[in-house]
Structure 1
Amino acid sequence: MAADELRRVGTDFVNNVTVSQIKQLLDDLTTQRVLNEEEKDSVLEENPSRADQAQHFIDMMLKKGNVACMKMINILMEEHPEFSLTLGLTPLPLLVDQLDLDNSPMYILNEEAPRLALIITNKTFKNTRLNRSGAEKDEEIMEALLRSLRYEVVMHEDLTGKQIEKAVSEFSKDQRLKQADSAFVVIMSHGKMGAVYGVNWTEEEPDEFLIDNIYEYLSTESCPALLNKPKIIIIQACRGAKNGAVIVCDNVASDSAAGAETQPGPSAPHAVEECLEEDTLFPGTGKKMRLAHQEKDFLSFLSSTPDTVSYRDTRQGSLLIQYIDQVFQAYSHECDIEVLFRKVMRRFESKLTNKKQMPTKDRCTLTRRFYLYD
């Protein structure tokens, strides 16, 4: 149990944790609403020494039980890996997201099977003011990441809406999908709710590709080769023009924690906020038949919540793509795809200061756990 694990390393934690680490852990646990502001302040203000603060902290977390202890260990291993190693904490898979484990089966992977991924990146537009500086980094990062995960990558650049449609359609008919154990589709462009923009987009003549069409082309009916296989969709594009931030009242503990501004930590991408741009502008076959779900085994990861913008660093690329790369590189050997995406979402909780963005999982019909490694 997580509480037993935290109790086991408690003495070493008290002897070795630094004041800055205590403060960071308290901030993270307050952001996640494991602690409130009064509990956080009690650790820092009611104890004269670092060791006393650490002991108070450990005692308080143990009283909160396994869920709270699990979250603290999760943060320790994710944000302070070297210190976690010093403490000799149990490997992450045994502790993280333990409450989610329901003994559900996993998708069967085949090390020798080909894997196929489609990447479409729109960088250069007919209207040059729409050019997406930094998108070349997104393309480079996603290609390298997917290839490292054994995917054969089909690449397209600077497509119109109709050309995107054709590329997705052709991908759905690729004969290699019959042997594949999974597939990725990644589309990166400007966008709005329900659509991404082609490179000829103007306000007078919208050039768009409807995201829903992906599910049509990869459905059981249109793409039987991917029946019962995970299909992961990643869309880096705005879904509207609204900012994802709101002003919250500082005198309510839970609200102030959720809205507090914090500086990017060491794991944040190298993104300077003034370099961030918004990716937006205002019967008769004679064969035995059986029924199958029209849409199943999908998971979509969209870069923002409905009607809000997504941000892209003009030098380093989109925040979503940078975080996906960081998380997948660190945890794809240990965590299933839904846990990986949740880790990406958590990185958006506090890394930006004046700009806010939160990616979302959408149309999840995965019935099993999908691990990128078997």
Structure 2
Amino acid sequence: MSEPREDNRDSEDATPLVFLRNLIPLTPSVKEFFEQKLGEITAARFCTFKTCPGCQTYVERADENNLCVHCTVCTAKKGSSYEFCWNCRRKWKGRAQIAVRCGYSDCNQIYPTMEKSNDRKRLAMIINNVNFKVSQFHRSGAEKDEESMGTLLEALGYDVITLNDLSAEGMEAAVRDFSQRNEHRYSDSTFFVIMSHGGHDGIYGINYDGNESDIFPVDKIFHYLNSENCPGLTDKPKIILIQACRGDTVSIRNTGYGSVFIQSLVKVFIEHCHVDDIVELFRKVTLYFEEAVKKTNFPYQMPSLDRTTLAKKFYLFPGL
């Protein structure tokens, strides 16, 4: 049994930051980072915080029985009192008082959205077939759609996996592998975007030559992303976007700026996704698409919403 020795460290050395500082030198910026994170962890032990939808700063909920939460930062910036609903995270609607519900009738009918953090792993996939085996099928301008969708999804907080020029077999392998990604366990939703030629039977792979070959059935997308094959996304919104001919009318695409559908969708999402749920966004896309087509000499056509299984409203909350 050894004799006890005197510990000459200061009393503050018991904190993790000081302990770390004694092991390695910390630059001012690194020290500030650790202090901020430790502060957040310590505060979380005693208080409950969420980000304000108006300014994205952390706000404490002082009364757990009150859904009406006051943000001092927004109030100071706007010059008037600003409150938001703790549950649905929208600007407060109704009388600003102690309340168990806000003025939105759908407050309890919204899919939960995870806040930005290192724990959130939103993942999206884009498959874009541009260069086909038969040169006459090349999809010039599709690069613009890929760029626009990628930028939009990244702005919405998704890490985007982009794959190009796949056969039907390659597309099936891609969606199958995507469904098994571990990130989905730590996500609240996903987007799966596929852009190519297509027909009644499905999406065409790059080996399509005009005959009924190299076709990827659309049903396989739903098969691989269902709860059984993609458990990480169970009860989470899965938005599947298909830019392809699906029937007798061709899908309008401009070689200079991309397809009417994708460009309309991106524009509508940028302008309205901070206030509208996904179904309302698609309605506005359809309206915008209709107006855009009327300005051209192309045959009249409209995008279609094939499958809707969302039981609640899905808001993208781009500020979170």
Please indicate the TM-score interval, normalised by the length of the shorter structure: 0.5 to 0.7
Shift of 1:104: 5.3
Hey, what does 1:348 align to over in structure 2? 289
Q: In 2, Cα distance between the equivalents of 1:101 and 1:323?
A: 29
Shift of 1:103: 5.2
Hey, what does 2:149 align to over in structure 1? 142
Q: In 1, Cα distance between the equivalents of 2:127 and 2:154?
A: 15
1:370 to 311, 314, 320: 314
Task: Give yes or no for the alignment of 1:214 onto 2:214.
Answer: no
Hey, what does 1:316 align to over in structure 2? 257
TM-score scaled by structure 1? 0.54
Q: In 1, Cα distance between the equivalents of 2:201 and 2:239?
A: 17
Cα root mean square deviation, aligned: 2.1
Question: What is the identity percentage for the equivalent residue pairs of Structure 1 and Structure 2?
Answer: 47
Q: In 1, Cα distance between the equivalents of 2:256 and 2:130?
A: 13
Counterpart residue identity of residue 105, structure 1: Q
Task: Give yes or no for the alignment of 1:358 onto 2:302.
Answer: yes
Q: Is the 8 A contact 1:195 1:210 kept in 2?
A: yes
Task: Give yes or no for the alignment of 1:231 onto 2:175.
Answer: no
Q: Is the 8 A contact 2:172 2:216 kept in 1?
A: yes
Gaps of at least 5 residues in structure 2 are 1-90, 94-103
Counterpart residue identity of residue 372, structure 1: L
Structure with greater Cα Rg: 2
Larger mean Cα displacement after TM superposition, 200-209 or 315-324: 200-209
Q: In 2, Cα distance between the equivalents of 1:101 and 1:361?
A: 25
In 2 relative to 1, CA 93–316 (structure 1 residues): closer, same or farther, beyond 3 Å? farther
Higher helix share: 1
In the TM superposition, 1:62-141 aligns within 5 A as 105-111=109-115, 112=117, 113-141=120-148
Shift of 1:363: 1.1
Higher relative contact order (CA 8 A, sep 6+): 1
Hey, what does 1:337 align to over in structure 2? 278
Counterpart residue identity of residue 167, structure 1: A
**Cα deviations by residue, 1:53-112 (Å, 9 ceiling, x for unpaired):** xxxxxxxxxxxxxxxxxxxxxxxxxxxxxxxxxxxxxxx998xxxxx9655511111122
Q: Is the 8 A contact 1:117 1:183 kept in 2?
A: yes
Hey, what does 2:14 align to over in structure 1? none
Q: In 1, Cα distance between the equivalents of 2:136 and 2:188?
A: 41
Q: In 2, Cα distance between the equivalents of 1:206 and 1:173?
A: 27
Hey, what does 1:252 align to over in structure 2? none
Q: Provide runs of 4+ in structure 1 moved above 6 Å.
A: none
Gaps of at least 5 residues in structure 1 are 1-91, 95-99, 242-307
Q: In 2, Cα distance between the equivalents of 1:318 and 1:151?
A: 22
Hey, what does 2:187 align to over in structure 1? 180
In 2 relative to 1, CA 204–342 (structure 1 residues): closer, same or farther, beyond 3 Å? closer
Counterpart residue identity of residue 320, structure 1: F
Q: Give 3-state SS (helix, strand or coil) of 2:184's partner.
A: helix
1:199 to 197, 206, 226: 206
TM-score scaled by structure 2? 0.63
